[in-house]
Amino acid sequence: MVTTLQQLNTNLHNNQVNSIYYQNKILFMSSIQMQQYLVGDYYPNWIQETFHGTVTPAKLMKMLASYDFADRSAAHMKYRGHEIHRSKIFWVDNLEEKVPIYTFPAFQYQQVKKEYQLISTSEWVEKIQEALDGQFGVATNHVIGTLYQDGKDSIGWHNDKPKTLDSIAPIFFLSFGQQRPLLFRKNGMEQVCCEISMAPGSLFVLDASKNQQYQHCIAAESDTNNNSNSNNNNNSRCKPRISLIYRQVKNILTMQEIEKKIVAGARGKKNNKKRKAEKIAGEYDDEHDNRIENETHQETREEDEDAEETVKAEKKQAKKRKAKKAAN
């Protein structure tokens, strides 16, 4: 009972006033949080409980914030030429013969060469990996750190692309710094079905299958002020937040293969430019265009198509709902 009250107190202190946890089980929750067990498991004090006070979430936040995040304005970090609203840092368990490659939409092979580092170079990134692997019986090999500098930084609705991920292993979301809500909605739906106010030191474990059925996002704070329990409002500045996402990636390449893809990608880009120029000059040849496809561009296009399909599905759903509403 004493522990229950302590836990309750901690959760209230962390502003998780719409959910009370005891030993990772929910005692009380608001209706929007009722659905979270559909998607995965939330451990509000995972760092504190796992490392028994040898490190605090605040100390880890300070350490992570001191790291060299990739320059978001660099060409190899952009998505289709656009700067993304967050900064990234990458770790993998091998950088020679077995490099894990997770092809998220803004992924470019150049990032591997320029940005990837070994997990073993960061003591706490490695300690967290060992603890996750031991507790959940997985073999994570890929970590992305994401820095949300302020409330304007965000990540839009998406499913983690399953193509290069292990089909069973869950995805692990760790959170440090500013408490911000991780939102979920069913594919094709607009309505948020689940909101997890990620406390510093907390862990959310997203089932692999649920990742394919539900999209998630970290919305810009101005979008969430009205419906979140993140304790931010227009008057209080949203401080930096850093997440660490641990994944078990099944797509393994050698550095040599990665080098080849970088060269092929550069060739593909050159061909694209040529095609554009030919199109303008009216010399465009479709058949020739099909032949000069290269692997790298094929992959990038598949990722883009995933995103486009999601947008199309969403538009279709919205149209259906509008038509239904009009009919009623």
Ligand X SMILES: O=C(O)CCC(=O)C(=O)O
- Which residues of the shown chain bind ligand X in the complex (CB under 6 A)? 144, 146, 155, 160, 173, 182, 216, 218, 243, 245
- Least distance between ligand X and beta carbon 238 (Å): 14
Backbone angles phi, psi at 63, to 5 degrees: -65, -50
Q: Which is nearer to ligand X, 111 or 271 (CB)?
A: 111
Q: Which is nearer to ligand X, 245 or 258 (CB)?
A: 245
Degrees to nearest 5, angle at CA 166 with 294 and 140: 110
- Cβ neighbours of residue 100 closer than 8 Å, sequence gap 6 or more: 92, 93, 94, 141, 142, 249, 251, 252
- 88 contacts 142 by C-beta, under 8 angstroms: no
- 244 contacts 128 by C-beta, under 8 angstroms: yes
- Least distance between ligand X and beta carbon 160 (Å): 5
Cα 88 from Cα 116, distance rounded (Å): 10
Residue 167 carries which DSSP code? Answer: S
Bridge partners of 42, per DSSP, are 204
Backbone angles phi, psi at 27, to 5 degrees: -95, -35
What ranges in the chain are assigned the alpha helix state H?
A: 2-13, 36-39, 46-51, 57-65, 109-115, 123-136, 208-213, 221-224, 255-281, 286-291, 295-327
- Least distance between ligand X and beta carbon 290 (Å): 32
Residue type, 296: T
Q: Which is nearer to ligand X, 8 or 144 (CB)?
A: 144
- Least distance between ligand X and beta carbon 97 (Å): 26
Q: Which is nearer to ligand X, 155 or 189 (CB)?
A: 155
- Least distance between ligand X and beta carbon 140 (Å): 14
Residue nearest to ligand X (CB): 243
- Least distance between ligand X and beta carbon 277 (Å): 36
- Least distance between ligand X and beta carbon 214 (Å): 12
Q: Which is nearer to ligand X, 22 or 124 (CB)?
A: 124
Q: Which is nearer to ligand X, 122 or 178 (CB)?
A: 178
Q: Which is nearer to ligand X, 20 or 171 (CB)?
A: 171
Cα 62 from Cα 66, distance rounded (Å): 6
